[in-house]
Amino acid sequence: MTQTKSVQAVRDLFRAYPVVPALRTAKDVDRALKLAPRVVFLLGSTVLDFAGKIQALQEVGHAVFIHFDLIEGLRSDGAALDFLLATAPPEGIISTHKTVIDLAKKAGLLRILRIFVLDSEAVRKGRQLVLSVRPDFVELLPGVALTAVDERLLRDFSVPLIAGGLITELSHVHSILRKGVTAVSTSDTSLW
């Protein structure tokens, strides 16, 4: 399969719209359909509805990254990825699993590895995982924690960073972006 958007094209979208809508509900998808084309994260879907959501979002020009681990009714394995690609291929996959990121790479999809950075040891292990997996982007959670993190810790990651989780204020967004993070994902519709 061929990527529909390149890493650079997605980075350009992040530059234009650094706040990424994290879509959990059908209502969120409906809201996103009214936004200018940008990157969106599809976090809430089932085996029955993900295809319609992806197609609708792509029809209005959005670059869709689906959180593969959160598709209800599908396992995070190769057969499920093949089904996703045959049904409604997104621009990329979000996952916490190394094997899913590896499978997505072989399939030609863009990849976002989600890492939970709860303490300095988690950051260290996360950096090691990034070096072995080589995703296109890394999403650090909880994103709000990055408001208090020394930006030198963030520079050690070898790929563009996204912050996600518990980001509910515009001041959080500005603080995180000033630290060199590429984008911020949030389900708070007031920040989209």
Q: Which residue is associated with the tokens 């990121």?
A: 101
- DSSP output for 62-73: -EEEEEGGGEET
Q: Could you tell me the CATH superfamily of domain 7-191?
A: Aldolase class I (3.20.20.70)
Q: What does residue 17 show for φ and ψ, rounded to 5 degrees? A: -135, 85
Torsion angle defined by CA atoms of residues 7, 4, 192 and 141, in that order, rounded to the nearest 10 degrees = -50
- Contact residues for 104 (Cβ-Cβ < 8 A; gap 6+): 68, 81, 92, 93, 95, 110, 111
Q: What is the pLDDT of residue 174?
A: 98
Q: What is the pLDDT of residue 4?
A: 67
User: Is the peptide bond between 142 and the residue preceding it cis, with omega within 30 degrees of 0?
Assistant: yes
Q: What is the pLDDT of residue 156?
A: 86
* Residue stretches of the chain with pLDDT short of 50: 1-2
Q: What is the pLDDT of residue 108?
A: 96
Q: What is the pLDDT of residue 29?
A: 99
Q: What is the pLDDT of residue 153?
A: 85
CA distances from 55 to 33, 69, 88, 145, 149 (A): 11, 19, 7, 33, 37
Q: What does residue 114 show for φ and ψ, rounded to 5 degrees? A: -90, 130
Q: What is the pLDDT of residue 3?
A: 56
Q: What is the pLDDT of residue 150?
A: 87
- Per residue in 70-89, pLDDT (tens digit) is 999 999 999 999 999 999 99
Q: What is the pLDDT of residue 1?
A: 45
